[in-house]
Amino acid sequence: MIVKAKRYLGNMHTLEVHDTQNESPRCELDLISESHRRWYDTLSDAKRDHPYDNCAWCIGSSTR
């Protein structure tokens, strides 16, 4: 089980961001390598840091 450091989790490998307070089993957060995890307080912080796409399952409005 992943220890949730902050609300939003960015995956540097897939450039996808997840909302850990609305997590779906399809997000598979446990499979994200620790070296690929970036934690953020807000979605806007994550988007400012990297060109993340929203996870279709926990945030919605994915562009993929």
* Rounded-to-integer distance, Cα 4 and Cα 63, Å: 25
**What integer pLDDT is reported at residue 37 of this predicted model?**
97
Question: HSE-up of 43 (CA within 13 Å, CB side)?
Answer: 13
Q: Establish how many alpha carbons lie within 13 A of residue 10's alpha carbon, considering only the half-sphere containing its beta carbon.
A: 18
Tens digit of each residue's pLDDT (9 = 90 or more) over 24-48: 999 999 999 999 999 999 999 999 9
CA distance 61 to 33: 24
The residues spanned by each domain of the chain are 8-54
pLDDT at 3: 80
The pTM of the whole model exceeds 0.95: no
Does the pLDDT of residue 63 top 90, yes or no? Answer: no
CA angle 50, 6, 10 (to 5 degrees): 25
pLDDT value, residue 26: 95
